[in-house]
Amino acid sequence: MSELTMTTDHHDHGPAKGIGRWLFTTNHKDIGTMYLVFSLIMFLIGGLFAFVIRAELFQPGMQLVDPNFFNQMTTMHGLVMVFGAVMPGFVGLANWQIPLMIGAPDMALPRMNNWSFWILPFAFSMLIATFFMDGGAPAFGWTFYAPLSTTYAPPSVTFFIFAVHMMGISSIMGAMNIIVTIFNMRAPGMSLMQMPMFVWTWLITAFLLVAVMPVLAAVVTMMLMDIHFATSFFNAAGGGDPVLFQHVFWFFGHPEVYIMILPAFGVVSEIIPTFARKKLFGYHSMVYATVSIAVLSLVVWAHHMFTVGMPIAGQLFFMFATMLIAVPTGVKVFNWIATMFKGSMTFETPMLFAIGFVVLFTIGGFSGVMLAIAPIDFQYQDTYFVVAHFHYVLVPGAVFGIMAGVYYWLPKWVGRMYDEGLGKMHFWLSFIGLNITFFPMHFVGLAGMPRRIPDYALQFADFNMMASAGAFIFGTSQLIFVYLIIKAARSGETADQVPWESAEGLEWTLPTPLPYHTFTTPPVIEK
Amino acid sequence: MRQIMHLFGMALLVSSGSALAAWELNMPRGVTETSHTVYDLHMLILWICVAIGVVVFGVMFWSIYAHRKSKGAQAAQFHESTTVEVIWTIIPFIILIGMAIPSTTTLIDMYDSSESDIDIKVTGYQWKWHYDYINDGVDFFSVLKTPKEEIYNEQEKNPNYLLDVDNELVVPIDKKIRFLFTANDVLHAWWVPEIAIKKDTIPGFINESWTRIKEPGTYRGQCAELCGKDHGFMPIVVKAVTQPEYDKWLADQKAAGAAKAAEADKDWTLDELVTAGAAVYQKNCAACHMPDGSGMPPAFPALNNNPMMQGDDVTAHMEVVINGVPGSAMAAYGKQMTAVDLAAVITYKRNTWENKTGGMVSPADVQAFMDK
Ligand SMILES: [Cu+2]
């Protein structure tokens, strides 16, 4: 894409000492690290909740927890994974990589960057503290449909609303920062159509965030009003409508799905060309496809609501619009495969995760097409088929995307290599574990098992036991990942400046170990 | 791979103990014209996806196999081709149109609930269903029949574990049945896979759907929208019978309804009310307030040693049970139960556990309260 010359930094300031470094830092690398560590901790906590869920569902009958606590687990698992693990994970990657990839010295708004991170630990402490409140944590599902989440909610719902507001503020600030950085801080000569795919996908994601996070804030504020100030937005008895909640929520919720997947598209679009030793196929169509997906994602929300009894015209509109998303998504998958085609491939851990992403995300895409068809969606809606679908999109999709990025860039971040053998083991155990967990969920869903139930009829027993066993494999193998990162950071072999044979991009022009401040003089991009 | 085999082995071992087919992989084809269409559409889309998957993954795995560095593959230089990119944008588009046409016709048919023979109003409650045969004046609640002992693993689970109710929804075959869905408290969704109906029941609003069942039989389903604590414990059982059987069932229901109404005029003793009340309590109240009255504070207060159950102010107690507590999960049972059941359950709560008032509330008292 571009050739460049490097100027070395003359007076390099190191980081501050002690805890102050982390509390007051405005350095994009430090903040990126904090986001990623936070994301990993949340991933483990959310995983623990999943563990409780799968343990209870190991066999029919109630064994470990009561139904109310089970509902708290499914709710908190969803909230923690979506808002605590996946979103901050990608913001962490953005913080680290966007300045390095566009040749900027830091994010455009470094103090706001610090603030947007430090809101999160408080938001999640408050959310998790609801477990110890009277009536327990929220138990109405991560989609918190009214009136279960208003009139019928435990008292802790107010804290949940406050926590969601804080997460929303954090995300909006993070997104604005990314937009401003990309528009204003690119190295001289780097046009938009020369930006790396990861930067492109994050730019589009950031616009989606700014568009829909305020809508999430609106819906929880309406809840707050209904609960404490006697309004009736979602109460039919007062002239409101419970379905209004779903429209507003999913206007946020569906783009949210793409917020969690578009940056992963970007990550694999960086990794596949490197390990195929071949330029990304169809860069332009990749960009247009990403923009189309983002635009379409704003007009398909009601496909989550096919059973609410919409007029048939609405039903048809949302069905067609949703099916249409398959076209740009297909383009992306074809482009990745065309990039691999006639390449010269090797299969280091980042590439394994990227390939795992393409295969399994595509399976999630297929079930997505099935779910888009309204008349048959009536049979899938709110069953384990849906659970299987979105876990295929989010686990080997979003989560594998983050992990692929971590493996790919870790040598640059910490200046040391990770243990390749452990990385491969992590990949294969995750890959096998998640397929054993989530594939059988398609079957029990089709056979009639509703989601969010703590106990089930006997004909679902065997596949549930299998899913639980798979979850156990998947969950424990994530500890390898934690160990591998610590080991790499502490005692890994020193990494080369370009650890991958044919990696391209500004980040690889920087020395290893990476100075605390980089690109204080912008690189020159030669066309 | 070895783990998968091992797991399969393990699961097979477990399942061989039961006679149930626990490896059901697919959607049931069902027993109505609509469910057959839905099933066929589902299989069509599934096979199209499988075919695309075979082609796409085929190319991908072939590349992974053939174009690897370890086999000496040299990377080609191409990185775009407008022709190819246009082709693989247009082909999926055409396939999608192929999928959209049958989907649209099916959907239009499913939405046509006109000219029904029987109308049944279905109301979702936390955590039971109410069925109202609007034209025949028959209505009843349908509650999970699986005993607590089976759920808590103290008894062997019967084959219809969690899918059994006390009163089934009985309908005739070959008649167009129109369902009107609504809810009393939170959202629920009424789902019976074999007739391919899933519809949300929404408090304050009415949804419609219809079916025409072709074969007599018992078809089971569950609530499909998270509705609180016992969401997993409110199954649906539809029993389709021939027209003569249906007529007889309807007549029996009407007779039973008349007998029930007559009970209100009878003179009840304290013991009779407590005995009847215990059954009403277990069915309607125990899920939240617990069989021993200990409740689940703060959402569901304890009834044992509750001053309201022990004091002399019967009116306050009747007020809560009959009119509910607005803004909480306590429903207005005056709308759900007969005066006899209300009197029985109120009397029961005042004379059980450590609540020993010795006083009774008669159906006439309840009726008088409700008439005020
Ligand atoms: Cu329900």
Compute the nearest-CA separation of A295 from chain B (Å).
17
Judged on CB neighbours under 10 Å (0-12, 13-18, 19+), A346 is middle
Q: Check if B7 contacts A (Cβ < 8 Å).
A: yes
| Set of chain A residues whose Cβ sits within 8 Å of the Cβ of B223 | 450
Instruction: With a cut of 80, say whether residue B23 has pLDDT above it.
Output: no
B290 touches chain A (CB under 8 A): no
Q: What is the CATH number of the domain that holds A148?
A: 1.20.210.10
Rounded to whole angstroms, the Cα distance separating A400 from B306 reads 54
Which domains does chain B carry? 24-59+80-112 (no CATH), 118-261 (2.60.40.420), 265-371 (1.10.760.10)
Query: Quick one: pLDDT at residue B342?
Result: 86
Residue A5 maps to a domain: no
A527 domain residue, yes or no: no
Q: Which tens digits make up the pLDDT trace of B89-114?
A: 899 899 999 999 999 999 998 888 88
pLDDT for residue B7 is more than 50: no
Q: Which pLDDT score, from 0 to 100, does residue A17 have?
A: 80
Q: Cα(B200) to centroid of ligand 1, in Å?
A: 9
Q: How confident is the model at residue B336 (pLDDT cuts 50, 70, 90)?
A: confident
Q: What does the CA dihedral A160, A161, A167, A173 come to, rounded to 10 degrees?
A: -170
**pLDDT at B263 exceeding the cut of 90:** no
Give A-chain residues touching B93 at CB under 8 angstroms.
Answer: 327
Beta bridge partners of B68: A345
Minimal CA separation from B310 to chain A, in Å: 25
Cβ contacts of A285 on chain B, cutoff 8 Å: 80, 85, 89
**Domains held by chain A: number:** 1
Domain span at residue A377 reads: 28-515
Q: Which of residues 306-345 of B touch A (CB under 8 A)?
A: 327-329
Contacts of B177 (CB under 8 A, 6+ apart): B116, B117, B118, B119, B120, B171, B210, B211, B212, B213
Residue B47 pLDDT > 70: yes
**Does residue B230 have a pLDDT over 80?**
yes
Contact indicator for B234, B223 with CB cutoff of 8 Å:
yes
What is the interface pTM, i.e. ipTM, of the complex? 0.89
B132 - beta bridge partners? B121, B139
More confident residue, B10 or A81: A81
Distance CA(B111)–CA(B103), nearest Å, equals 12
- Segments of chain A with pLDDT less than 70: 1-13, 527
Residues in chain B closer than 8 A to A347 (CB atoms): 68
**pLDDT at position B4 over 80:** no
Could you tell me the distance, in angstroms and rounded to a whole number, from the CA of residue B190 to the centre of ligand 1? 8
B 177-216 residues inside an 8 A Cβ radius of A: 181, 185-187, 189, 191, 193, 196-200, 202-205, 207-208
C-alpha dihedral sign at B164, B170, B176, B180: negative
Q: How confident is the model at residue B327 (pLDDT cuts 50, 70, 90)?
A: low
| Chain B residues within 8 A of A337 when measuring between CB atoms | 56, 59-60, 63
For residues A399 and A84, what is the distance between their CA atoms, to the nearest angstrom? 12
A22 located within any domain:
no
**Cβ atoms within 10 Å of A166's Cβ, excluding its own:** 18
pLDDT one-digit tens code per residue, B285-323? 887 888 888 888 777 888 888 888 877 778 888 888 888
Q: What is the pLDDT of residue B22?
A: 58
A10 in a structural domain: no
**Domain-located, residue A2:** no
Q: How many residues does chain B have?
A: 372
Interface test with A, best of B91, B96, B146, B148 (most A CBs within 10 A): B96
Q: Which two tokens stand for residue A223?
A: 């809840």
| Nearest C-alpha in B relative to A450 | B224
- The whole-number pLDDT of residue A3 equals 42
Ligand 1 midpoint to CA A46 (Å)? 26
CA A143 to centroid of ligand 1, rounded, Å: 16
Measured CA to CA in angstroms, residue A238 lies from A230, A241, A309, A462 at distances of: 9, 9, 21, 46
Q: Compute CA distances A235 → A49, A146, A217, B227, B322, whole Å.
A: 31, 8, 19, 15, 21
Residue A131 included in any domain: yes
User: From the CA of B129, how many Å to the nearest CA of chain A?
Assistant: 17
pLDDT at A13: 65
Per-residue model confidence (pLDDT) at position B371: 82
Hey, are the CB atoms on A277 and B200 less than 8 Å from each other?
Answer: no
Nearest beta carbon to residue A370 from set B49, B88, B111:
B49
What average pLDDT score do residues B21-42 get?
A: 86
Q: How many CB pairs under 8 A join A and B?
A: 321
Identity of the amino acid at B89: T
Q: How far is A269 from chain B (nearest CA, A)?
A: 13
- A327 contacts B89 by C-beta, under 8 angstroms: yes
Position B11 confidence tier, pLDDT thresholds 50, 70, 90 = very low
Are residues B221 and A448, on separate chains, in Cβ contact within 8 Å?
yes
A143 is catalytic: no
Question: For residue B330, what pLDDT is reported?
Answer: 83
Angstrom distance (rounded) from CA A204 to CA A210:
10
A149 in catalytic set: no
* C-alpha distances in Å from residue A522, one per residue of A84, A106, A111, B333: 34, 11, 21, 73
What stretch of H or E contains B129? strand B128-133
The rounded radius of gyration (Å) of the Cα atoms in chain B is 28
CA B127 – ligand 1 centroid, Å: 6
Confirm whether A14 is domain-assigned: no
Helix (H, G, I), strand (E, B) or coil at B49: helix
Residue B80 vs residue A43, higher pLDDT: A43
pLDDT(B20) > 80: no
| pTM for this entry | 0.89
Set of chain B residues whose Cβ sits within 8 Å of the Cβ of A243: 202, 205
The torsion of the CA quartet B54, B55, B60, B65, rounded to 10 degrees, works out to: 80
Residue A377, in any domain of the structure: yes
Identify the pLDDT of residue A4: 45
